[in-house]
Amino acid sequence: MSRSDVLNVALGERAYDIVVGDDLLQRAGELIAPVLARPRVAIVTDETVAGLHLGTLQDALDQAGIRHDAIILPPGEQTKDFGHFQDLLNRLLDFGLERRDMIVALGGGVIGDLAGFAASVLRRGVDFIQIPTTLLAQVDSSVGGKTGIDTRHGKNLVGAFHQPRLVLADTSVLATLPRRELLAGYAEVVKYGLLGDRGFFEWLESHGTDVVSGSAQAQRHAVLKSCADKARIVAADEKETGDRALLNLGHTFGHALEISVGFGASLLHGEAVAIGMRMAFGLSQALGLCSGQDAERAERHMRTVGLPVHPDDLGLPRQDAAVLAAHMAQDKKVQDGRVTFVLVHGIGEAFLSRDVEPKTVEDYLASLLD
């Protein structure tokens, strides 16, 4: 029997529900109908997801009497660019999509970010629904309203805050996700435990292997808990003027690695975040802020589930500490030349710091990478 739970992202007039459960795609018509002004949607998806799950969504919409058109884009990060963005907007207008109509993003973070950004500007803003199909998208990118595209200057540099009207996280679709993608998404799950929820981290220590080996019950709980943590943080700081930045735990290091390796299949975003979180704990320990016990415990859990915690774990080329530190200085969250680091006092105790000397970071990285 299918099970679902509902969370709310408490953002006043922009508040919305996140439904987490099994077989939600089959029920999508009845779940979506209450937030439609008229029974008409445009689905945006990618070729891989379309081959696996689009038919189920279309059948469900048919059953509910909701008209639909689909735009199917190539899979992969390269689709999140100006070219596809322009093409998507024109195709949505070709369909005659009006301001009161709805865009449905069916896919991973690439589709959610691109379709959400298109929704934010089309006819000066139309509503959209997120139906995330990767673990990363279910626990992170579909919630919180960050939308955007990449440019030649870097990732996610053009975009908008545009909250969805509804998120349907159907954990059944994770069954078709390649294991490496599932694991990469799991890094963002662990992140919630490590940054502010020690109890959840302890649950993951007992059940994390169930999540990554496909247990429906464990996956439902992990998605629900992650979304609850993210919903709370976003409701308190929608535009990231404060604590929302804690969600970047591991990301400054991870992003520097992604730039160094060159965005692509050799290092997935979630893998970079896992290595980056280990570095954030390691740097915090080196600064005397976090116990070695907690740093080792965080690293041990990630290793146990199969996540990389060092560039060598993925057979990446040797990384140079000075080069990585230089990439961090280019981070888009740099203010007045100082990088904002997410550091930790322990598991579940992250905080923001702009007091770390670049030389200290470089020395720590050199000790880890040499």
- In the complex, the residues that contact ligand NAD under the rule CB under 6 A are 46, 48-49, 52, 75-77, 80, 107-111, 113, 133-134, 136-137, 140-141, 144, 146, 155-156, 173, 176-177, 181, 269
Written as six digits, the tokens of 280 are: 């954030």
Tell me how many degrees the CA angle 197-272-178 measures, rounded to the nearest 5.
Answer: 90
- Using alpha carbons, select from 171, 232, 179 the residue that is nearest to residue 23: 171
Least distance to ligand GLY, CB of residue 3, Å: 26
**By CB under 6 A, residue 333 contacts ligand GLY:** no
Query: Could you identify the residue written with the tokens 């596809």?
Result: 84
Q: State which of positions 81-140 bind ligand GLY (CB under 6 A).
A: 140
Q: DSSP string spanning 138-192?
A: IIIITSS-EEEEEETTEEEEEEEE---SEEEEEGGGGGGS-HHHHHHHHHHHHHH
Least distance to ligand GLY, CB of residue 172, Å: 24
**By CB under 6 A, residue 197 contacts ligand GLY:** no
Binding residue for ligand GLY, selected from 68, 165, 244, 269, defined by CB under 6 A: 244
86 Cβ contact partners less than 8 Å away, ≥ 6 residues apart: none
**By CB under 6 A, residue 146 contacts ligand GLY:** yes
- Using alpha carbons, select from 282, 319, 283, 320 the residue that is nearest to residue 298: 282
Least distance to ligand NAD, CB of residue 362, Å: 26
User: Given CA atoms 143, 144, 148, 153 in this order, what sign does their dihedral have?
Assistant: negative
Q: Tell me which DSSP letter residue 335 carries.
A: B
Q: State which of positions 286-325 bind ligand GLY (CB under 6 A).
A: none
Q: Which does 244 bind (CB under 5 to 8 A by kind): ligand NAD, ligand GLY, none?
A: ligand GLY
Least distance to ligand NAD, CB of residue 363, Å: 30
Least distance to ligand GLY, CB of residue 306, Å: 22
Closest CB to ligand NAD among 139 and 343? 139
The angle that helices 292-305 and 269-286 make with each other, rounded to 10 degrees, is: 160
Asked if 85 and 73 touch (Cβ cutoff 8 Å), the reply is no
Burial class (CB in 10 A: 0-12, 13-18, 19+), 206: exposed
Asked if 36 and 66 touch (Cβ cutoff 8 Å), the reply is yes
**By CB under 6 A, residue 258 contacts ligand GLY:** no
For the annotated catalytic residues, the residue numbers are: 124, 146, 188, 230, 240, 244, 248, 251, 255, 269
Q: Which does 101 bind (CB under 5 to 8 A by kind): ligand GLY, ligand NAD, none?
A: none
Q: How many CA atoms lie within 13 A of 339 on its CB side?
A: 24
Binding residue for ligand GLY, selected from 212, 247, 274, 342, defined by CB under 6 A: 247
Closest CB to ligand GLY among 126 and 143? 143
Least distance to ligand NAD, CB of residue 342, Å: 15
The amino acid occupying position 259 is I
Closest CB to ligand GLY among 29 and 107? 107
Q: Which does 45 bind (CB under 5 to 8 A by kind): ligand NAD, ligand GLY, none?
A: none
Query: In the complex, which residues of this chain contact ligand GLY (CB under 6 A)?
Result: 140, 144, 146, 240, 244, 247
